A and B are shown apart, each in its own frame.
Chain A
Amino acid sequence: MDPHRVRAVAKRIILGFRRDRRSLGLLFAAPVVVLSLVGAVWGSATERVPTVVVATDRLNLPAPIVDRFVASTAIHGRRGTFEDGLRQLRSGEVDAVVWLDGTTLHIQIEGADPLESGSIGGAIQRALTDAVAGGNLALAGPAVKIDQLYGGPDYSILDYLAPVLVAFFAFFFIFLLSAVSFLRERTTGTLERLMATPLRRGELVLGYLAGFSFFALLQAIVILLFTVFVLQVHYRGNLATIFIVEAVLVVGAVSLGLLVSAAARNELQAVQFVPIVLLPQVFLSGLLIPVDQLPDYLRPLSAVLPLTYANEALRSVMIKGYELADPLVLRDIGVLVVFGLVMAMGAVASIRRDVA
């Protein structure tokens, strides 16, 4: 393995894209445009005031707090019994039922739509914070049990989507660009020329990984800066950890792109792999629907998709503030490394099939 040759390949890729303004635009501007749209659509979703049944038969709190909770502007509060609240929740008349079990405040939400659930949870938390903070009673705020929510009361849906969108954009664009770039190597004859030099196949794949990682990390910086400073998304995690997750994800994306380029005859065919490779990941990786809410028979499929692990790791780091050393984050990174290695070995093997 000669690092000079690997560096030469990486530099070649970076120099080439310097003049390919359209692809660069796609890489950096498209995520910003899409995130702006997401911000406009879901960032404002928190403005919707949910209707909440306060189950007074199971809410043993001082009356002034209950009053302030019901009257909070963050929710449309209704008093009712627990059973009545559940009935209304099932029929879709209300968005949530709130009750107290010991010292834990339970928020029962419909939960089919995680985006909607996040919005409701946030509003109820705000109402509760107002109710407790507004009183002069020596009452500690009760523990709140909401499974989907990790963030503070001012978190919006965008906060929950932003981490997975970072992973999705990196995977999508880097996969597509590497597939098309390598397909060009195959169709224009440059691959044949490269294989008639001392360059080894592993060095070529490594060079591709390095070149595209450079763009993926630049893209991640653009996305992170845009979401933090323009869309005001909350990030708790360490930036370096985010980049590590991103980097190992990109190894898989580039290698998968190289593999796909072996199966495609032209650029149109390469693009046709996008729905096959990416759509399952949109639906099954926890991007839109939490993995634990997927039907049992889809979970094994979800478990083999790289974005599942990238999403979990990035959400853990960015929303929950987990560190790199956290076992969950390490496990996710480990799975992504294995995926990347397997794909990279497949990519090296696919070059062998093409040129002896």
Chain B
Amino acid sequence: MTVDPAVVAQGVRKRFGAIEALRGLDLRINTGEIYGLLGPNGSGKTTSIRCVAGLLRPEEGTLRVLGGTPRAAVSAARVGYMTQAPALYGDLSVQENLSFFAALQGVTHADEGIEEALRTVDLLERRRSVVNTLSGGMRTRVSLAATLLHRPSLLLLDEPTVGVDPLLRKEFWAHFRMLAASGITLLVSSHVMDEASRCDRLGLIRGGVVLAEGTANELVARAGATDLESAFVALAEAR
């Protein structure tokens, strides 16, 4: 039995004035995998994720998310999107923030889900704290919890581990693995090459195009390199 891919992009182009952020993006994310979108700053990672989240409309190409248009998937509350900065309401408590996002996603009995999400990010004891009083790492964890409340099929995480200490980063990846094991598809962007080994498959992105897709080992072998960083350089130079 073949399973439909969670995300398929073909020749996606997106321009902001004179800058062409995506120049024919092709990618395929299989259901239930952790897909790492790896590339330097300005390579088009955030633009790609925003297109998948239905926030930007590509000018060209096709983009299918969970079998339909990005906006249809978002409207059906099947997508969770964690922005690069932990976009939360600083003057609300953790609980109030999560209740709000749960309501927007149409979650009816949110309390149980909130408790579960907070347990997942290990912040249950801070549920009554006002977000402005939390550390940066804690806010990032609340931000992740806010994307889990409606049990999305696809989780879009834009550089979720930026500014997160190594210990917490390890915990985060453990959470991501757990979520993938429960059947959720994860698209995780990162500019840190050593996070690649934690993903099932990778897309190396540069200049608004995916240079190559595959597992870390496949990409290294394909480039005839010894590590992923060298593979990235070799693949970029080959284009």
State whether A197 and B100 are in contact (beta carbons under 8 Å apart), knowing that A12-B92, A16-B91, A188-B85 are contacts in the complex.
Answer: no
CA distance A20 to B76 in the complex (A): 34
Q: Select which of B50, B89, B146 is within 8 A of A16 by beta carbon.
A: B89
Contact A197 to B101, CB < 8 A, known contacts A20-B91, A190-B88: yes
Number of interface residues of A (CB under 8 A): 26
Report the Cα distance A130→B156, complex, angstroms: 80
Give the chain B neighbours of A330 by CB distance below 8 A: none
Which residues of chain B (45-62) have a CB below 8 Å from chain A?
A: 50, 53-57
**A1 on interface, CB distance cutoff 8 Å:** no
Separation of A20 and B89 alpha carbons in the complex (Å) = 12
Taking CB atoms, residues of chain A closer than 8 Å to B121 are none
| Contact string against B for A residues 312-356, beta-carbon threshold 8 Å, 1 for contact and 0 otherwise | 000000000000000000000000000000000000000000011
Determine the distance from Cα of A334 to Cα of B84 in the docked complex, in whole angstroms.
45
- Chain A interface mostly helix, strand, loop or mixed? helix
User: 1/0 per residue B27-69: CB within 8 Å of A?
Assistant: 0000000000000000000000010011111000000000000
**Proximity bits, A187-223, B CB within 8 Å = 1, else 0:** 0111011111111000000000000000000000000
Indicate if the CB atoms of A8 and B89 lie closer than 8 Å.
no
Q: Are B55 and A197 in contact (CB under 8 A)?
A: no
Please tell me if the beta carbons of B104 and A192 are within 8 angstroms of each other in the complex.
no
In the complex the two chains form, is A198's CB within 8 Å of B91's CB? no
Q: Is A239 an interface residue (CB 8 A)?
A: no
Contact in complex: B103, A195 (CB < 8 Å): no
CB A9 to nearest CB in B, in angstroms, measures 8
Q: Is B106 an interface residue (CB 8 A)?
A: yes
- Distance of A188 Cα from B100 Cα, bound (Å): 16
User: At the interface, yes or no: A76 with Cβ under 8 Å from chain B?
Assistant: no
Q: Which A1-60 residues have C-beta < 8 A from chain B? A: 2, 4-5, 7-9, 11-12, 15-17, 19-20
Instruction: Give Cα A189–Cα B96 distance, bound, in whole angstroms.
Output: 18
Tell whether A356 pairs with B88 under 8 Å between CB atoms, given A198-B77, A198-B106. no
Q: Is B176 engaged at the interface, CB distance under 8 Å to the other chain?
A: no
Residue of A nearest to B79 (CB): A196
Instruction: Decide: B87 and A192 in contact? CB cutoff 8 A.
Output: yes
Does B87 lie within 8 Å of A189, measured CB to CB?
yes
Beyond A12-B89, A198-B77, 4 extra complex contacts between A and B, CB < 8 Å: A189-B85, A189-B87, A193-B81, A193-B146
